[in-house]
Amino acid sequence: MTELKLPSIDYAALAPTLIMLGAALVGVLVEAFVPRRLRHVVQLSVALLAVLAALTMVVLNADDRLITIGGAIAVDGPALFLQGAILVLAAMALLLIGERSVERGGAFVAQAAVTAESADDRRQAEDAPGATEVYPLTTFAIGGMLIFVAANDLLTMFIALEVLSLPLYLLCALARRRRLLSQEAALKYFMLGAYASAFFLFGVALVYGFTAGIPDRPAAVDFATVNAAVTDSTASPLLLFAGMALVSIGLLFKAAAAPFHVWTPDVYQGAPTPVTGFMAACTKVAAFGALLRVFHVAFEGARWDFTPVLGVVAVLTMLVGAVLAVTQTDIKRLLAYSSIANAGYLLVGVLAPNSGGISGTMFYLVAYGFAVLAAFAVVTLVRDADGEATHLSRWAGLGKRSPFYAALFTIILLAFAGIPLTSGFTSKFAVFGPALEGGQVWLVIAGVLTSMVLAFPYLRVVVMMWLSEPGESTPAVTVPGGLTSAALMIGVVATLVLGVVPAPLLDLATGAAEFVR
């Protein structure tokens, strides 16, 4: 009888993920046993402490370069850098979620408010703490993201994809205002996400069959075996290309790249705004972390085959995001198409055939994450008695009614437009530079041209805020407490600092831009 050999496990290297998943389980117990009036404070404290503890372990593991759990998880420079980015951005998102989950008229709704019969009962229910189950759902999603960027085989990556996705589907349905729109968005996200997951899993099966074609080597889906099969001329290229295409569909869906982007505007608009910010920042980091690992490790030997196809996807993504952003009249949908366009710019960095593309992409993810969370923080503050005022016409004259917050939003929009001295300029330079050096001139030209188009809707909002007179429908900025303001200020300061002094983060990303194989 063959002796079963258990895989070695480095628990210190896995500590960030274990902490987040453990905090999610604690959050479930809190929902069951802690009195309702204390639940919000306890849940927010558990989530934030877990994020800080996990971030501490990422810093302590900074020098680790290893593969653990039988080759399933890689702890290397890109994994640690992206895990740290996810945790920092998640802490900001939790500040937004923590404020709006209990604020009257906020983003999340207690179930009692949905089912209350009379207006008095409904008002009493809305004064109760909000849907505190948002915290364990968020921490489960963060745990899945930490696994996603470190997965070293396709099956582990698929499991992580489901762990991060399923909580997001539920989070999108928790909006207090416009509940039907929120539930419709969640259902659309779930249905399309299920199809994308099915494509990914089918692609895994085809890649497994592809690796079976190598003589004297067992079939597997770990990245080392896949890369060895890619470079072996005896393997069947048909299974490789089909499997690579289907795996790419699953990952590009999460990254909101065209033509797999159609869920993004509806979900961004319908989901609670703090959840939208969390998705726009953290899910983007996780998705592109997985794309970097798959195409720079597993399929590296097929670079000349997938680069033209993914290049066309990148150009289409930039074009769709930039052109359709011009036509939007809702601020959340505008930011959604902005996110799509930025996915195209990030793909330019992914396709750069050098380590500079990896470091530039990682820098871009951090810079964009801070800016987009700050943008959605402002969206949560511009509100009236009916909730958030997301139609662009309502923002006319905001600069005269609330000049401080209009100025902060102007800085964020200028960063999105890629204006110098903001993080948007340095991040685009960080991905376009390596692509230009690698001979991807056509991608850089497409990126520059679409950036010019995309600047128009941003500057239109700036002009509307500052050069229009406030109307009767122009809302004021409502600041419910310190958590949202703290998240907003962190995002704006980071946007300015990374625009003026980007070298420390760029150096950190450059030093972390090497995968363990």
Strand-pair category, 73-75 with 387-388? unpaired
d(CA 292, CA 53): 26
As a whole number, the mean pLDDT across the chain is 88
d(CA 499, CA 191): 39
Are 461 and 454 contacting, i.e. CB atoms less than 8 angstroms apart?
A: no
Give residue 3's pLDDT: 63
**Residue 47 burial by Cβ neighbours in a 10 Å radius (0-12, 13-18, 19+):** buried
What one-letter code names the amino acid at 287?
A
Give residue 237's pLDDT: 83
d(CA 24, CA 5): 31
Question: Three-state DSSP class for 476?
Answer: strand
Kindly state the tokens that stand for 165: 């996705």
Residue 454: beta bridge partners? Answer: none
Are 267 and 79 contacting, i.e. CB atoms less than 8 angstroms apart?
A: no
Query: Which of 488, 145, 87 shows the shortest CA–CA distance to 283?
Result: 145
Give residue 108's pLDDT: 58
d(CA 270, CA 256): 16
What one-letter code names the amino acid at 237?
P
Give residue 114's pLDDT: 42
Question: Three-state DSSP class for 75?
Answer: strand
Say which residue, 69 or 87, is predicted with more confidence: 87
d(CA 274, CA 108): 9
Number of structural domains the chain divides into: 1
d(CA 188, CA 97): 22
Are 466 and 399 contacting, i.e. CB atoms less than 8 angstroms apart?
A: yes
Give the confidence band of 383 by pLDDT, cuts at 50, 70, 90. confident
Residue 3 counted as domain residue: no
Residue 224 counted as domain residue: yes
Residue 516 counted as domain residue: no
Query: Which of 273, 135, 259 shows the shortest CA–CA distance to 196?
Result: 259
Question: Three-state DSSP class for 470?
Answer: coil
Residue 209 clears pLDDT 50, i.e. is over it: yes
d(CA 299, CA 439): 20
Residue 153: beta bridge partners? Answer: 222
CA 406 remoteness from chain centre: 25
The stretches of 212-302 forming alpha helices (DSSP H) are 223-230, 237-255, 263-270, 273-278, 284-293
Residue 116 clears pLDDT 80, i.e. is over it: no
Query: Which of 347, 376, 210 shows the shortest CA–CA distance to 279?
Result: 376
Give residue 70's pLDDT: 85
Rounded to an integer, the average pLDDT of 9-28 is 94
Name the percent of the chain lying above pLDDT 70: 92
pLDDT tens-digit readout, 31-40: 999 998 899 9
d(CA 21, CA 15): 10
Q: CB 59: neighbour CB atoms within 10 A?
A: 10
Query: Which of 279, 416, 410 shows the shortest CA–CA distance to 345?
Result: 416
Strand-pair category, 476-477 with 73-75? unpaired
Q: What is the DSSP string of 378-438?
A: HHHHEEETTEE--BGGGGTTHHHHSHHHHHHHHHHHHHHTT-TTSHHHHHHHHHHHHHHHT
* Candidate from 46-55, 174-183, 371-380 with smallest mean pLDDT: 174-183
Residue 319 counted as domain residue: yes
Residue 109 clears pLDDT 80, i.e. is over it: no
Give the confidence band of 4 by pLDDT, cuts at 50, 70, 90. low
d(CA 505, CA 285): 15
**Which residues constitute the domain of residue 247?**
11-511
Residue 410 counted as domain residue: yes
What DSSP designation does 353 have? S
* The length of the chain, given as a count of residues: 517
Rounded to an integer, the average pLDDT of 75-94 is 96
Give residue 120's pLDDT: 44
Give residue 232's pLDDT: 75
Give residue 233's pLDDT: 64
Give the confidence band of 110 by pLDDT, cuts at 50, 70, 90. very low
> What is the pTM assigned to this prediction?
0.93
Residue 60 clears pLDDT 60, i.e. is over it: yes
Are 17 and 55 contacting, i.e. CB atoms less than 8 angstroms apart?
A: no
d(CA 443, CA 318): 10
Residue 333 counted as domain residue: yes
Are 395 and 461 contacting, i.e. CB atoms less than 8 angstroms apart?
A: yes
d(CA 4, CA 466): 70
Residues 6+ positions from 104 with CB-CB distance below 8 Å = 126, 127
Are 221 and 155 contacting, i.e. CB atoms less than 8 angstroms apart?
A: yes
Rounded to an integer, the average pLDDT of 446-453 is 95
pLDDT tens-digit readout, 237-294: 888 999 999 999 999 999 999 999 999 999 999 999 999 999 999 999 999 999 999 9
Residue 4 counted as domain residue: no
Residue 368 clears pLDDT 70, i.e. is over it: yes
Give residue 127's pLDDT: 35
What DSSP designation does 128 have? S
d(CA 517, CA 34): 46
Place of tokens 């709006």: 100
* Candidate from 157-171, 214-228, 314-328 with smallest mean pLDDT: 214-228
pLDDT tens-digit readout, 500-509: 999 999 999 9
Residue 383 counted as domain residue: yes
Give residue 469's pLDDT: 81
What DSSP designation does 279 have? I
Place of tokens 């500590």: 15
Give the confidence band of 212 by pLDDT, cuts at 50, 70, 90. confident
